[in-house]
Amino acid sequence: MSLADSFFHETTIAGLEFYGSKQNQDTGSGDSVNTTGWLQTAAFMRLIRKHWDICNVKTVLLGKKKLNDDMKPVKKGDCANMMFLRNFAEWLQTWRDQGDWKHSLTRETFLAVIQSSLAVPDTVQYLLESKGLSYVLTGKLQSDPLERRFSWFRQLSGANYYVSVRQVLEAEKSIRLKSLIKFSNYDIDEVQEIFQAPDSDSADMITENCKSLISLLQAEELSLDGHTQDDSAIIYYIAGGAARSASKQVKCDGCTELLVQRSGSADQVHFEQNCSQTLDAQSRKTMFLDKINRGGLTHPSELAHLTGLYIWNLYSSLLECKEAMAFLLNTSRPKEVFILAFLTLADECKETEAIMETCCHCFHSFRTLIYAFAGRLFNTFVKNFGREINSQGKEKTSGQ
């Protein structure tokens, strides 16, 4: 379910619309990719996403939190979403009756989705009119919690699909232990101190690993060479989420303004001429975020966005050097090593001198905020890297 949710996610659809708006997409290596049909694919995926949102309303305030009317609970008189499900079922029936099975879903999938699309509106209407309910949460009319629990059992058993009774019992004990820790009075630092072995040399180990990583990369300083405007737009979106998350741990309003843009507040950070952007580039970098923003997403500050580009370029150099990436991931604390490597290179780079010397009006250095900000960006990049490796492994397995 999580894989399907990611595939039909709004960011995936917005990405297709963003890159499909150009007839030929430049890959950066001189080649071009024909984007004809990307917008049609995005329109198809948006239909599937709307169906997903309507059928997965599990809390009363989900629609208000996400600023999405499709995620609001169904009440009497709210027939738009239920009418969409019925029309969706009719559209699937028309598609199925065409008989082109090479370019369609399987018969079983057609039957299941059509039945679900027709059963949900009828069930909602019955509960509202006959049982007198004030609202209905469509996400409760499914077996996802049960499937999620058994999926959890399989993952705790080594990703084994055929789990035994003993493995289920052992996995249940692990889940209950995790729940006891979660709902106890311990905070995360206390839990880590209990389960983490003492290591007085961890700081020295991180420093040594940082030096080794920089030597493997043969990197002398940071640079923005090689990134495109499309990269800038995607990093702008990711940096907004990382900046918002990092700003929640900051108590100083001035430090918060160094990370995120606030309505009505001007960005007071100024950079050298070689770091400045044209008006066209500034408007393009917000294009991707604006495509999926319903008012709840955060715009990063110019400082945070520029820092995110430098971090992305350093991470891109890791992707190009497999030896350096393997070394980093084999260290005991890869995130701390990466952050220290970035700070070390940033301190020695003239281009990032203005960033590292920036302070808020309370004289708090932006350098201290980079730890939390860069850590969140690194987690996002590595998570996507792990998914890509897993996808490649599945393709090799299926090809054998």
Between CA 386 and CA 383 the distance in angstroms is 5
pLDDT score, position 296 = 79
Between CA 344 and CA 206 the distance in angstroms is 12
pLDDT score, position 297 = 84
Residue 120 has pLDDT above 90, yes or no: yes
CA pseudo-torsion sign 151, 153, 157, 161: negative
pLDDT digits (tens, 9 = 90+) for 213-261: 999 987 667 877 766 777 888 889 899 999 999 998 888 988 999 999 8
Distance of CA 398 to the CA centre of its chain: 27
Between CA 192 and CA 128 the distance in angstroms is 48
122-131, 177-186, 197-206, 260-269: least confidently modelled range: 260-269
Beta strands 32-34 and 24-26 are antiparallel
* Lookup: tokens for 80: 């738009």
pLDDT band at 115 (very low <50, low <70, confident <90, very high): very high
Residue 273 has pLDDT above 50, yes or no: no
pLDDT score, position 268 = 45
Q: Three-state SS string across 106-164, please?
A: CHHHHHHHHHHHHHHHHHHHHHHHCCCCCCECHHHCCCHHHHHHHHHHHHHCCCCCCCC
pLDDT digits (tens, 9 = 90+) for 277-312: 554 556 667 777 887 888 778 889 999 999 999 999
pLDDT cut 90: percent of the chain above it: 34
Directed axis angle between helix 38-55 and helix 10-20, to 10°?
A: 160
Residue 193 has pLDDT above 70, yes or no: no
User: Is the model more confident about 317 or about 399?
Assistant: 317
- In sequence order, which residues have a C-beta less than 8 Å from that of residue 91 and are 6 or more positions away? none
* Lookup: tokens for 370: 């980079």
- pTM > 0.75: yes or no: no
Residue 201 has pLDDT above 60, yes or no: no
**Which residues are 26's β-sheet partners?**
32
pLDDT score, position 220 = 66
Q: Pick from 277, 261, 400, 384: which is nearest to 15 by CA?
A: 384
Q: Which helix (H) or strand (E) holds 199?
A: none
* Lookup: tokens for 78: 């709210």
pLDDT digits (tens, 9 = 90+) for 92-103: 999 999 988 888
Distance of CA 91 to the CA centre of its chain: 31
In terms of DSSP H, where are the helices of the chain?
2-7, 10-20, 38-55, 62-66, 80-97, 107-129, 144-156, 165-182, 188-195, 202-217, 229-247, 253-259, 279-285, 287-292, 302-320, 322-329, 334-348, 353-356, 367-399
What does the domain layout of the chain look like in residue ranges?
A: 1-55, 73-141, 147-195, 202-388
User: Is the model more confident about 34 or about 376?
Assistant: 376
pLDDT digits (tens, 9 = 90+) for 16-63: 888 887 755 555 555 666 777 888 999 999 999 999 999 999 999 988
* Lookup: tokens for 398: 């299926």
pLDDT band at 147 (very low <50, low <70, confident <90, very high): confident
Q: Count CA atoms closer than 13 A to 330's CA, side-chain side.
A: 8
- φ, ψ for residue 218, nearest 5 deg: 55, 40
pLDDT score, position 123 = 94
Residue 196 has pLDDT above 70, yes or no: no
User: Is the model more confident about 203 or about 328?
Assistant: 328
Q: Which helix (H) or strand (E) holds 22?
A: none
